[in-house]
A and B are shown apart, each in its own frame.
Chain A
Amino acid sequence: MIPMEEALLRNLTPAVLAILVRRGADFAAAEDAVQDALVEAVRVWPGEPPRDPKGWLVTVAWRRFLDATRSETARRRREELVDEEPGPGPVPGRDDTLWLYFLCAHPDLSPSSAVALTLRAVGGLTTRQIARAYMVPEATVAQRISRAKRTVSGERLDRPGDVATVLHVLYLVFNEGYSGDVDLAAEAIRLTRHLAAVIDHPEVAGLLALMLLHHARRAARTTPEGILVPLAEQDRGRWDTGLITEGVRILQGALARDRLGPYQAQAAIAALHADARTTEETDWAQIVEWYDELVTLTDNPVIPLNRAVAVGEADGPHAGLAALSEVDQRLPRHTAVAAHLYERAGDLATAARLYAEAAHEASNLAEREHLTRRAARLNTDRKP
């Protein structure tokens, strides 16, 4: 299947699922039927592309749903319901996929279940693709999805839930980045774009802007060998100006609504970085102000830590260390931030020791290697 057809299929997935459910299919069975239809489309479309892809998918998925339902003779009630329904007629144009986002991010679901269900039911990814992206067995993902469907079965689908739960799931997908053969960051952006098109909410726009502004740096964030390049050392000429322009425009639209939330504030920080040609030219004072806002908007413990970094840039490393002294020492990356501030303050012996300690504590490989190199460089430079 060529990528464009796959993209089309995946874009149509939530709408097709929503139509089946509106016709009376229960969510779990409808979701299975849509997956079957997607597999069928991948097989058939390259030979005979349909003139009306959405109508084709609805017809095939509905047929699969009927077959599955009829074969389950024990479930008489559902069968009666199905028999009352008219056959697949014209497909309504209205996009009512919004409730799907809410259902798949239901607060009763664990984060991993909500992520898997969202990627399959809304994103149109196959179980295998999700399994590869998260490097777990396919059977494990299949179990997560079927358990998640059981958890949300019986939920009413006609009222919106809390948009924050949906945004959290999309944020988790984005933060997973790129692994295996699925670009999860790009997928998160696609799903957030779609969400922003069906719901008018400043935090949805804020998250979309945040994603675009970070995605813009992707090419500069690692070397071709996969080595992490910190923000201060990135070649900003490689940042994607198209994504930055779009992110800033979306953020401005959101901020103008005057309903600030944590995603808008984080996007504002990313936008200030995008605006500067170098670390030195960055408006760190304004970034500190945004961190002060963020502290009041969220109890995410990482915020005060990142604020200490910004204070170090705005008011000097000693001010940064003073800000850091008020941050919980047990936080991941606390030692890494301290090492950076001591290095800037010129205490290279302490910095080298702390970088090595931070490397030992690091929870991800790229960061551990980065911190180890930092320690090694300081130790090499200090040798006579």
Chain B
Amino acid sequence: MAKYLLLKHYRGAPAAVNDVPMDQWTPEEVSAHVQYMNDFAARLEETGEFVDGQALAPEGTFVRYDGEGRPPVTDGPFAETKDLIAGWMVIDVDDYDRAIELAGELSAAPGAGGRPIHEWLEVRPFLTAGPTITE
């Protein structure tokens, strides 16, 4: 029982095998892709492994504290930012191997030509609360 974050990057991950930008696909290919993602999430709900899934807008803003009594400073968006998160899925699975297996399935979502994108997904374990018995 461990939670993992499956992280999808707009930018920052190595190039996918089927690396055609989505706006170059046919509308049917886009629909097939969306359907695949929805089916994947539904299947995880069915297996009792789904925790959360969210997509993010590509544009973000950097914010920082600017001292007592002052409004926060905002900056950006930064077009040159190397890493850009597109969205995530959180799963709760029995072990690491299962997390890898599921990430592999998610990476097989169809893209241009209906072929799998083979995109690189990042798998990150959640830090846990720590066991009661340690010795």
Contacts and interface: CB of A to CB of B under 8 A. Distances in A.
A111 B129 CA distance: 18
Interface string B114-135: 0000000000010111111111
B48 A141 contact: yes
Nearest to A310: B135
A136 B92 contact: yes
Contacts of A269: 135
B48 A231 contact: no
Contacts of A228: 130
A214 interface: yes
B48 A185 contact: no
Contacts of B127: 362-365, 368
A115 B130 contact: no
Contacts of B39: none
Contacts of B28: none
Interface residues of A, number: 44
A262 to B, nearest CB: 12
A172 interface: yes
A334 interface: no
A376 B109 CA distance: 45
B125 A363 contact: yes
Interface in B38-95: 45-52, 92-94
Interface in B90-115: 92-94
Contacts of A136: 51, 92
A42 interface: no
A143 B46 contact: yes
B135 A140 contact: no
Nearest to A362: B127
A270 B135 CA distance: 8
Interface residues of B, number: 23
A143 B45 contact: yes
Contacts of A113: 48
B132 A175 contact: yes
Interface string A218-258: 00000000001001000000000000000000000000000
Given A112-B92, A364-B128, A175 B133 contact: yes
Interface string A136-165: 110111111101000000000000000000
Contact of B133 (A134, A141, A214): A214
Contact of B131 (A112, A139, A177, A362): A177
Interface in A328-384: 362-368
Contacts of A144: 48
Interface of chain A, helix or strand or loop or mixed? helix
A231 B130 contact: no
A135 B125 CA distance: 15
B132 A174 contact: yes
B22 to A, nearest CB: 29
B129 A143 contact: no
Contact of A365 (B48, B52, B130): B130
A266 B45 contact: no
Nearest to A333: B134
A346 B78 CA distance: 48
Contacts of B94: 110-112
B135 A134 contact: no
Centre residue among A110, A116, A142, A368 by max chain B CB count within 10 A:
A110
Contact of A143 (B47, B134, B135): B47
Interface string A105-133: 00000111101100000000000000000
Interface of B: 1, 3, 45-52, 92-94, 125, 127-135
19 contacts: A112-B1, A112-B93, A112-B94, A113-B48, A134-B1, A137-B51, A137-B52, A139-B50, A143-B48, A176-B132, A210-B133, A228-B130, A269-B135, A309-B135, A364-B127, A364-B131, A365-B130, A366-B129, A366-B130
Given A137-B52, A143-B46, A145-B48, 12 more contacts: A112-B1, A135-B3, A137-B51, A140-B48, A143-B48, A147-B47, A174-B132, A273-B135, A363-B125, A363-B128, A365-B128, A368-B127
Q: Which 4 A-B pairs have the closest CB atoms?
A: A144-B48, A364-B130, A143-B48, A364-B128
